[in-house]
Structure 1
Amino acid sequence: MKLIGKNILIISPEAWGEYFVSKHHYATELAAQGNYVYFLNPPSKGYTIESTKFDNLSILNYPGFPKGMRYYPNFLQKHFIANRYQKLEHLSCKHFDIVWSFDTSVFYDFSALPASVIKILHIVDLNQDFQTESAAKTADICLCTTELIKAKLLPFNINTHKIHHGVRLNEFGNGIDRQIKLPGNNLIKALYVGNLSMQFLDWEKLLTVIRSHANIDFLFLGPEGRSNLSTSIITSSAKDEIKSLPNTYFMPPVPADLIMYYLLAADLLLVSYKEDNYDDQASPHKIMEYLASGKPVVATWTEEYADKDLLYMSKSMEDFLKIFSWVIDNIGSASSELSAAKRKAFAADNTYTEQIRKIQELIQIRNEK
């Protein structure tokens, strides 16, 4: 099966909006390749369909399922899943060829869907763990981004495959036609990009580093508070203190196609997660965009990159501070053409175009069995 001209329903735990993560990028890339993509938002009110600025890509809204449906008898669960599915097909005026789900909390029994439909379960976050067993057992193909997630899915479905996070290089241009001037008076700029309301962020680590490096400007770019990526507001005294320091800057979020210009304007990039969440954050999506910029990345432990020599990683607060200081002291070698080329090459080998090609091959193998 070639992924061209197919009707694809993408089920996402994050809503469509201005800010993109992997689900949104897969949707736009599949649409760009000539498929008709329908991006299903998390449950809201009523059945509606919306257009987007992307050709062949529409947004579907639906009211969800009865509360506590997972406790219903199996035949009733299947009834409601089939019912909602039929209504979504009616809403879109399409019969879906592929259901591609990133969410184990809804439509988790794929056996309720027509046999002709290819059912893909794609787990990119270890904390996306609701009705995982049912979803994995009834999927035709299970995809994941880390070995940890793969180990969780394999007991339920032998047709489980790791596909690394992707990146859309064609969004970014070459950085020459649009140059960004970052705020701050210091020579070196350290930048964090991402959802600033994410509960796993380790603001304490960041505060320790910032206090120790008054000669570095620290910049934060991303949505804060409620957005299509977060429905909650996370408070942190360390974050509040960071905001009060003279060498920190919190910038308003920008659309996905502008992020690369900010990355290119920085000198080094940051990843900082709490130690309790290292497993869950074993392969954050943002790192692919970081690597595509070629800039050095100082990160907390990120298991999927342990053997790749692409990040400057640490497991403790003490080591995080030491490694950050080392990179600052050696910013020239850390930013060398050779080092930058290695990072960019890894990103180029893992574009969304390439990942979709791999997934297409897995679908073809499954269909031939």
Structure 2
Amino acid sequence: MKLKGKSILIISNEPWGDVWYSKQNYAFELSRNNQVLFLNPVKKWSPISILTSRIRTTQYSDTLHILDYGNPLPVRTKQLDQWNNKIISKRLRKWIKKNHFNDYIVWTFDPHRLYDAKLLGARLGIFHYVDMYGPEHFGSHKLYDNSDVILATSPKLIEGYSHYNKPTYHIPHGISKDEYIISADQLEKIKLPFKRYGLYTGAIDYRMDFSLVEKALKKFNHINFLFVGPVQLPETNDAAQRIFTEKKYPNALAIGPRHYKELKYFIHLADFCISFLDVKHIPNTISNHKTLGYLAQGKPIFSPVFHAYKELGDIIYMSNDHNELLELMDHYFKKGEDEIQPAKRIEYSKKYLFDKMLTDIGEHLSELLRE
């Protein structure tokens, strides 16, 4: 099956906006050659939704529209969840048919809701596992029951689900061909109080290793560190408060989120990148989709050991030991690295272009459907 000329309904557990994750990237890439309807997370429940689900769409492009809706019932028990799923699925199916979105594929990233593609009227149901949701989610089990195929960014994400006997394919994180195109005009629009810096992009929240960040800020107090992403600090983490609330370290600057398509310019201007994630959270040991963006610009990356990249050697500097990782940084700052390393990183990242990922997925679907 070629993923071209199709109608695709993407169900996301994260809303459309400036901050993009795998769901938004897939929607954008698929919309290059398909009609895509992107379902935002459900609105807060309101009694008016009992009678009408407040279905609204906004246009992002000619081939990509964003849909919002409300649940007819408050989802407070498993039984209410099941009733709600049936009602809203039928309402959405009716709306979709009325708006001439025909013969479509449901491609869901959300383990919580709309877990029956056939009830939605789809020709095919895909569950794309990109985050470690955990087996406790009722919806994820229903999705395994009802989906035709499972895609996963890592085999580790689907351990414990083999008894469902569903066709399952490993599809690593992808990267857009746009990430290699740097506009000089856009580059000039990046205004910062310093020219040289190390860069972190992504959410600044409980998943970050604030202790490691603080150690780096202290050890390399002559180097600027730029943090680009939404700030949601854990209140009980003293290091987080010192760095981002009290602003104790003058070499740390957090500027909040920027649109995903702008991040490549901050990466391009950076001397190096960091992915200081807390390995006590198991998903942080698997992979980080920001890594490919760093590699696409040839940047040195300092991070914990990601399972997906542990065979790459020294094109990524990885260690789960704080002191060892800081020593790797110190060595790089003092000695530099082989001049061939940036080219090796760029070459590696191109193995995961979305064009290839979507071709691979299409071939898997052809096998499944015997087309």
Whether the TM-score (by the shorter chain) exceeds 0.5 is: yes
253 and 280 in structure 1: CA distance in 2 versus 1, 3 angstrom threshold: closer
Tell whether 2:352 aligns with 1:350: yes
- Give 1:71 deviation, angstroms: 2.3
User: Paired residue for 1:21?
Assistant: 21
86 and 168 in structure 1: CA distance in 2 versus 1, 3 angstrom threshold: same
User: Paired residue for 1:261?
Assistant: 265
For structure 1, which segment, 272-281 or 348-357, has the greater mean C-alpha deviation from structure 2 after superposition? 272-281
Give 1:33-112 correspondences, 5 Å limit.
Answer: 33=33, 35-44=34-43, 46-64=53-71, 66-68=73-75, 71-72=78-79, 76=83, 79-80=86-87, 82-90=89-97, 92-112=99-119
Residues 272 and 299 of structure 2 are in contact (CA less than 8 Å); yes or no, is this contact kept in structure 1? Answer: yes
- Give 1:293 deviation, angstroms: 0.9
User: Paired residue for 1:365?
Assistant: 367
1:119 to 100, 119, 125: 125
User: Paired residue for 1:221?
Assistant: 228
Superposed CA offset, 1:142-180 (max 9, x none): 001112113244332341111110111225513545435
Superposed CA offset, 1:88-129 (max 9, x none): 415744235100000110012345344x61100001011365
The aligned amino acid for 2:145 is K
> In 1, distance between residues paired with 2:81 and 2:264?
47
48 and 204 in structure 1: CA distance in 2 versus 1, 3 angstrom threshold: same
User: Paired residue for 2:50?
Assistant: none
Gaps of 5+ in 1: 226-232
- Give 1:348 deviation, angstroms: 1.1
91 and 217 in structure 1: CA distance in 2 versus 1, 3 angstrom threshold: farther
User: Paired residue for 1:290?
Assistant: 294
> In 2, distance between residues paired with 1:155 and 1:331?
49
User: Paired residue for 2:329?
Assistant: 324
User: Paired residue for 2:145?
Assistant: 137
> In 1, distance between residues paired with 2:225 and 2:82?
55
For structure 1, which segment, 1-10 or 99-108, has the greater mean C-alpha deviation from structure 2 after superposition? 1-10
238 and 74 in structure 1: CA distance in 2 versus 1, 3 angstrom threshold: closer
> In 2, distance between residues paired with 1:74 and 1:216?
51
What percent identity do the matched residue pairs reach? Answer: 26
11 and 220 in structure 1: CA distance in 2 versus 1, 3 angstrom threshold: same
RMSD: 2.6
- Give 1:295 deviation, angstroms: 0.3
1:204 to 211, 227, 248: 211
Residues 234 and 240 of structure 2 are in contact (CA less than 8 Å); yes or no, is this contact kept in structure 1? Answer: no
Gaps of 5+ in 2: 45-52
315 and 92 in structure 1: CA distance in 2 versus 1, 3 angstrom threshold: farther
- Give 1:36 deviation, angstroms: 0.9
- Give 1:221 deviation, angstroms: 1.0
The aligned amino acid for 2:219 is S
Residues 302 and 316 of structure 2 are in contact (CA less than 8 Å); yes or no, is this contact kept in structure 1? Answer: yes
- Give 1:306 deviation, angstroms: 1.0
207 and 61 in structure 1: CA distance in 2 versus 1, 3 angstrom threshold: same
The aligned amino acid for 1:277 is H
Superposed CA offset, 1:213-259 (max 9, x none): 1111111112225xxxxxxx643431232232111111243222221
Task: Kindly tell me the number of residue pairs found equivalent between the two proteins.
Answer: 355
Residues 58 and 67 of structure 2 are in contact (CA less than 8 Å); yes or no, is this contact kept in structure 1? Answer: no
> In 1, distance between residues paired with 2:134 and 2:332?
34
> In 1, distance between residues paired with 2:82 and 2:170?
32
Q: Per the alignment, in what secondary structure is the counterpart of residue 354 of structure 1?
A: helix
109 and 259 in structure 1: CA distance in 2 versus 1, 3 angstrom threshold: same
> In 2, distance between residues paired with 1:170 and 1:11?
24
Tell whether 2:249 aligns with 1:245: yes
174 and 205 in structure 1: CA distance in 2 versus 1, 3 angstrom threshold: same
The aligned amino acid for 2:325 is F
For structure 1, which segment, 137-146 or 243-252, has the greater mean C-alpha deviation from structure 2 after superposition? 243-252
- Give 1:81 deviation, angstroms: 5.4
- Give 1:322 deviation, angstroms: 2.3
Q: Per the alignment, in what secondary structure is the counterpart of residue 264 of structure 1?
A: helix
221 and 79 in structure 1: CA distance in 2 versus 1, 3 angstrom threshold: closer
> In 2, distance between residues paired with 1:27 and 1:214?
41
330 and 153 in structure 1: CA distance in 2 versus 1, 3 angstrom threshold: farther
- TM-score normalised by structure 2 residue count: 0.87
- Give 1:64 deviation, angstroms: 3.0
Superposed CA offset, 1:45-79 (max 9, x none): 54333333422100111113634476229984763
